[in-house]
């Protein structure tokens, strides 16, 4: 099955420096022929490579404002974290107003849906008797990480709809009611902090539930900034707890009052998931795990420093009521589509073949120097061994193996150079009878 | 039939590295593509067996022999051995020293946990002879 990915490489900018391969949490990148390549099946669109690339060759492809033209009534769905980028410069109403002025007819705050999801989550946890801890489905990069690297934890992902998807559905309903327009004429556009949420909205996962388009914050940042002082204010309906979802710890705060753990930054998330997989953390009820440092305020498509953004977001919403909305949808509407493992790291579909490959992989890895230097274009010696076994690389791609081969070859050459043709070679004194040269 | 052998040295009282071998075994099984339930059982059994070496012995080795039909996990140590295996199989019975129990390990659940995960379990031990624990989990 093919995956759509928002994270791409701009080939002409890539210098093949191998910086990105080390940071990818699913070892999805290889440098081949001087260019980084993303293995599509493995990529979870976490945006780590966008952050790390010194040449800005990794980009996220989303929609831009021209996509609005396909609809007669357009609703913007700003992620809670988005307003953090302008906090300190304007009040919430003015930020929303400046966003609306870009060509939208209405705004539906994702924070509003987040409050509803928090209520539903609380109720779900109250009645839950299964394996602990449950893991938040809100960060699609974390969900992808679980699918690819921790498939056994897929069943511990909370089976509730995400705030973005709920916001899209409710906004569409409101829009149709307000205008009398049919479904196809109402467009919902999520303003995204990250590539993972662009990708999540595009995956063909059963029936369409998410927004109709996803616009990276970075592409409209300047336009919103310009409009801050002139645009008409637009009233906010969401409360402080909903906006809290924009930074790490906010989701847990809005659920409230239990043993809830929060972890942010993809490599920290990996540590925690590893422990859960080993059977630890069973006394924790729920884990809010976010791939980005500081949570969505640190999204790869954001502009401000994440920690400053977190501070500003907190201050911005300080005066908002901490209300939480009644649920205008039924329990059934809140159920998420099931999540399945994506066994992209599996060596082969056939068990016997996979075992044989693993045996060769272990043997190959033992021959490599274990320096994980990345010069071969694979992220680690083990990954190179895997690539060799899969027929996508050779052992001489390792500079150390190559050098050793060259050394052996050089010695052989020297050895050969010493040999003289039989017509010139004289038998050494004392063993005239011995055969000389190659007969 | 293809088969794969893995082996990891385990040092006594090395709690920091504890579970490292079991984690590698789990990773390999996952990448090979065993069903999640089989992996879970193998990982728990390997972890408990590894911890037993750390807690009760002078050091040893954790091994895995993997074929499409079965995963065999073997923990070999040279240590004081288990004088009474039947007793050791009882839940909550522990010979772990107090300071280790205070660290939250050695609660006497190791062997019972292994038995729950294993299809076949064989323990060879005796006072002063070291211990070999052999665990088989069938893939069916
Ligand atoms: S987006 Fe994340 S998973 Fe995808 S290639 Fe970049 S670092 Fe790897
Ligand atoms: S933490 Fe937020 S911004 Fe970062 S990947 Fe997850 S959802 Fe996107």
| Predicted local distance difference test score (pLDDT) of residue B24 | 93
- Summary mean pLDDT of chain A: 91
Residues of B in contact with A355 (CB under 8 A): 2-4, 32, 66-68
What is the A234 CA–ligand 1 centroid distance (Å)?
Answer: 36
Q: Kindly give, in sequence order, each residue whose CB lies less than 8 Å from that of residue A177, ignoring residues fewer than 6 positions away.
A: none
| Predicted local distance difference test score (pLDDT) of residue A2 | 54
Q: Residues enclosing ligand 1, CB less than 6 A?
A: A 7, 24-26, 28-29, 38, 43-49
Other CB atoms within 10 Å distance of the CB of residue A273: 22
Q: Residues enclosing ligand 2, CB less than 6 A?
A: A 46, 139-141, 193-194, 196-197, 290-292, 295-296, 299
Tokens matching residue A119: 């209520």
Do residue A354 and residue B26 have CB atoms under 8 angstroms apart? no
What is the A41 CA–ligand 2 centroid distance (Å)?
Answer: 20
Best residue in A147, A271, A345, A355 for a mutation probing chain B (most B CBs within 10 Å): A355
- Alpha-carbon span B60 to B7, nearest angstrom: 11
A25 contacts A270 by C-beta, under 8 angstroms: yes
Tokens matching residue B111: 């062997």
Do residue A152 and residue B39 have CB atoms under 8 angstroms apart? yes
Lowest mean pLDDT, pick from A80-84, A196-200, A420-424, B23-27: A420-424
Lowest mean pLDDT, pick from A85-89, A144-148, A378-382: A85-89
| Predicted local distance difference test score (pLDDT) of residue A125 | 94
Q: Whose CA is nearest to atom 4 of ligand 1?
A: A43
pLDDT at A232 over 50: yes
Burial classification of residue A416, based on how many CB atoms lie within 10 Å of its CB (0-12 exposed, 13-18 middle, 19 or more buried): exposed
Residues of A in contact with B25 (CB under 8 A): none
| Predicted local distance difference test score (pLDDT) of residue A167 | 95
Burial classification of residue A339, based on how many CB atoms lie within 10 Å of its CB (0-12 exposed, 13-18 middle, 19 or more buried): middle
Rounded to an integer, the average pLDDT of B21-31 is 94
Q: How far is A390 from chain B (nearest CA, A)?
A: 13
- Alpha-carbon span A286 to B114, nearest angstrom: 28
Burial classification of residue A62, based on how many CB atoms lie within 10 Å of its CB (0-12 exposed, 13-18 middle, 19 or more buried): buried
The model's pLDDT over A363-394, given as tens digits with 9 standing for 90+, comes to: 999 999 999 999 999 999 999 999 999 999 99
Other CB atoms within 10 Å distance of the CB of residue A149: 23
Q: Between these two residues, A335 and B132, which has the higher pLDDT value?
A: B132
| Predicted local distance difference test score (pLDDT) of residue A438 | 52
| Predicted local distance difference test score (pLDDT) of residue A1 | 42
Listed residue (A63, A85, A24) closest to A294, CA to CA: A85
User: At A410, which helix (H) or strand (E)?
Assistant: helix A399-418
The model's pLDDT over A174-219, given as tens digits with 9 standing for 90+, comes to: 999 999 999 999 999 999 999 999 999 887 554 557 899 999 999 9
- The partner residue sitting opposite B33, judged by closest CB among A274, A278, A346, is A346
Examine domains A7-60 and A351-418 and report if their fold is the same.
no
Q: To which residue do tokens 């093919």 refer?
A: A2
ipTM of the shown complex: 0.90
Percent of chain A scored above 90 by pLDDT? Answer: 80
The model's pLDDT over A279-323, given as tens digits with 9 standing for 90+, comes to: 889 999 999 999 999 999 999 999 999 999 999 999 998 888 766
Q: How far is A381 from chain B (nearest CA, A)?
A: 16
A336 contacts A159 by C-beta, under 8 angstroms: yes
Burial classification of residue A389, based on how many CB atoms lie within 10 Å of its CB (0-12 exposed, 13-18 middle, 19 or more buried): buried
Right CATH for A7-60 from 3.40.30.10, 3.40.640.10, 3.50.50.60, 3.30.70.20: 3.30.70.20
Residues of B in contact with A341 (CB under 8 A): 36
What is the C-alpha radius of gyration for chain B, rounded to an integer number of angstroms?
14
Class of domain A351-418: mainly alpha
Do residue B33 and residue A359 have CB atoms under 8 angstroms apart? no
The values of phi and psi at residue A189, to 5°, are -130, 115
Domain spans of chain A, in order of start: 7-60, 65-334, 351-418
DSSP B93: -
pLDDT at B4 over 90: yes
Cross-strand partners of B4:
B66
The model's pLDDT over A21-51, given as tens digits with 9 standing for 90+, comes to: 999 999 999 999 999 999 999 999 999 999 9
Listed residue (A190, A239, A234, A221) closest to A75, CA to CA: A190
pTM score over 0.80:
yes
The model's pLDDT over B80-98, given as tens digits with 9 standing for 90+, comes to: 888 888 888 888 888 788 8
Residues of B in contact with A347 (CB under 8 A): 31-33
| Predicted local distance difference test score (pLDDT) of residue A85 | 97
Q: Whose CA is nearest to atom 7 of ligand 1?
A: A24
| Predicted local distance difference test score (pLDDT) of residue B110 | 82
Lowest mean pLDDT, pick from A345-359, A420-434, B123-137: A420-434
Tell me which ligand sits closest to the C-alpha of residue A162: 2
What DSSP line would sit under A285-303, residue for residue? -EEEEESSTTSGGG-TT--
Q: To which residue do tokens 């120097």 refer?
A: A369
DSSP A156: G
3-state class (DSSP) for residue A262: strand
- Alpha-carbon span A434 to A23, nearest angstrom: 63
Rounded to an integer, the average pLDDT of A47-76 is 94
Q: To which residue do tokens 């060509």 refer?
A: A103
| Predicted local distance difference test score (pLDDT) of residue A204 | 57
The model's pLDDT over B48-83, given as tens digits with 9 standing for 90+, comes to: 999 999 988 899 999 999 999 999 999 999 888 888
């Amino acid at each position: 099955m093919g995956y759509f990915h928002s994270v791409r490489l701009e080939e002409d900018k890539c210098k093949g420096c191998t910086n990105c391969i080390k940071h990818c949490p699913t070892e999805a990148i290889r440098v081949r022929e001087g260019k980084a390549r993303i293995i599509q099946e493995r990529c979870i669109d976490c945006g780590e490579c966008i952050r790390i690339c010194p040449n800005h060759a990794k980009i996220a492809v989303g929609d831009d404002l021209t996509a609005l033209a396909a609809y007669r009534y357009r609703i913007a769905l700003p992620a809670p974290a988005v307003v953090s980028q302008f906090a300190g410069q304007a009040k919430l109403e003015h930020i929303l107003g400046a966003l609306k002025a870009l060509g939208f007819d209405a705004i539906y705050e994702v924070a509003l849906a987040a409050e509803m999801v928090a209520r539903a989550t609380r109720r779900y946890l109250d009645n839950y008797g299964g394996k602990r801890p449950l893991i938040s489905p809100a960060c699609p990069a974390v969900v992808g990480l679980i699918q690819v690297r921790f498939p056994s934890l897929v069943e511990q992902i909370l089976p509730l709809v995400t705030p973005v998807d709920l916001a899209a559905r409710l906004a569409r309903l409101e829009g149709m009611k307000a205008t009398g327009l049919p479904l196809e004429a109402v467009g919902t556009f999520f303003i995204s902090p990250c590539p993972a949420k662009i990708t999540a909205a595009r995956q063909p996962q059963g029936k369409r539930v998410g927004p109709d388009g996803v616009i990276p914050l970075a592409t409209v940042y300047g336009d919103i900034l310009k409009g801050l002082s002139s645009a008409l204010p637009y009233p906010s309906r969401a409360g402080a707890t909903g906006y809290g979802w924009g930074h790490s710890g906010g989701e847990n705060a809005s659920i409230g009052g239990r043993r809830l753990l929060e972890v942010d930054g993809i490599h920290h998330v990996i540590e925690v998931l590893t422990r859960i997989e080993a059977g630890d953390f069973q006394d924790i009820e729920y884990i809010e795990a976010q791939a980005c440092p500081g949570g969505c305020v640190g999204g790869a498509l954001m502009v401000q420093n994440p920690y400053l953004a977190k501070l500003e977001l907190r201050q911005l919403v300080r005066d908002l009521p901490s209300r939480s909305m009644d649920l205008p949808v039924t329990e059934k509407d809140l159920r998420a589509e099931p999540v399945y493992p994506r066994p992209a790291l599996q060596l082969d579909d056939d068990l016997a073949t996979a075992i044989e490959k693993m045996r060769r992989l272990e043997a190959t890895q033992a021959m490599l120097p274990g320096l994980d230097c990345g010069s071969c274009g694979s992220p680690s010696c083990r990954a190179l061994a895997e690539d060799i076994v899969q027929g996508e690389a050779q052992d001489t791609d390792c500079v150390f193996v190559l050098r050793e081969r060259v050394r052996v070859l050089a010695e052989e050459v020297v050895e050969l150079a010493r040999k003289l043709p039989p017509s010139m070679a004289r038998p050494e004194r004392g063993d005239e009878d011995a055969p000389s040269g190659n007969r | 039939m293809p088969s794969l052998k893995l082996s990891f040295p385990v040092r006594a009282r090395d709690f920091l590295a504890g579970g490292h071998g079991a984690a590698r075994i789990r990773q390999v099984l996952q990448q090979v593509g065993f069903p999640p339930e089989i992996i879970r059982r193998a990982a728990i059994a390997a972890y408990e067996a590894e911890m037993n070496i750390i807690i009760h012995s002078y050091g040893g080795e954790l091994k895995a022999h993997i074929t499409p039909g079965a995963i065999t996990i073997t923990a070999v140590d040279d240590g004081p051995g288990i004088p009474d295996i039947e007793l050791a199989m009882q839940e909550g019975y522990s010979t772990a020293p107090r300071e280790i129990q205070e660290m939250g390990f050695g609660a006497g659940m190791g062997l019972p946990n292994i038995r729950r995960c294993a299809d076949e379990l064989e323990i060879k031990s005796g006072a002063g002879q070291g211990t070999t624990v052999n665990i088989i989990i069938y893939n069916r």
